[in-house]
Amino acid sequence: MPAGDRRIGIFLFDRFEELDAIGPYEVFGAWCAHAPEDGWSVATMSDGGAEVRGAKGLVVRPHVAVEDAPDLDVLVYPGGQGTRPLLADETHLEWVRSMRERVPLLASVCTGSLVLAAAGLLAGRPATTHWASLDHLASLDPSIDVRRDVRFVDDGDTVTSAGVSSGIDMALHLVARLQSTERAREVRHVIQYDPEPPV
């Protein structure tokens, strides 16, 4: 795993939605490269370190196996069709719960929040997901305050974002939160992301 006193891990699985993971990775990777003095690193990880294939065919060899990953400060959980079987995988859900206990900040992109909900981690909290899965999120746990018209929801130790490209907005928000708004603006300039800048 790359060097850095503070670590961001992005969990990958078969049929993850590519931009859900690669968008935040680009933001965090640009941050780490642009400002190494901030002391952060980012890496991808998968069960057993296995190569994974995204929803649209992108093949990725993660940096590290989940089992070998060092302690994380942030865990990013992307979405995609591959989340559907994980909703009923109790072994996986127990791992997600264990990460909640060990990782200060959990962040999801798109339908990654469905997995957090299935693990019981969004009970009574505000959250969002891809527009086509908002009702599914509500059905998994009726106590969730489903936010339907936002790019992301920051609820302290848990941040959820809407579909696909919204993960970029969320990641820039996290750079601002974890470091500074000025740094987030620098990163946004580095990656030339200018639709409606979140910071």
Q: Which of 109, 110, 162, 168 is catalytic?
A: 110
- 6 phi/psi in degrees, rounded to 5: -120, 135
Return the structure tokens found at 44: 């991808």
Distances in Å between the Cα of 133 and the Cα atoms of 69, 118, 159 are 30, 13, 17
CA 25 – CA 141 distance, rounded (Å): 29
Site of tokens 């305050």: 145
Whether 110 is catalytic is yes
Q: Which residues contact 17 (CB under 8 A, 6 or more apart)?
A: 54, 55, 78, 79, 80, 81, 109, 110, 111, 164
Nearest CA to 110 among 15, 198, 6, 29?
15
Catalytic residues: 110
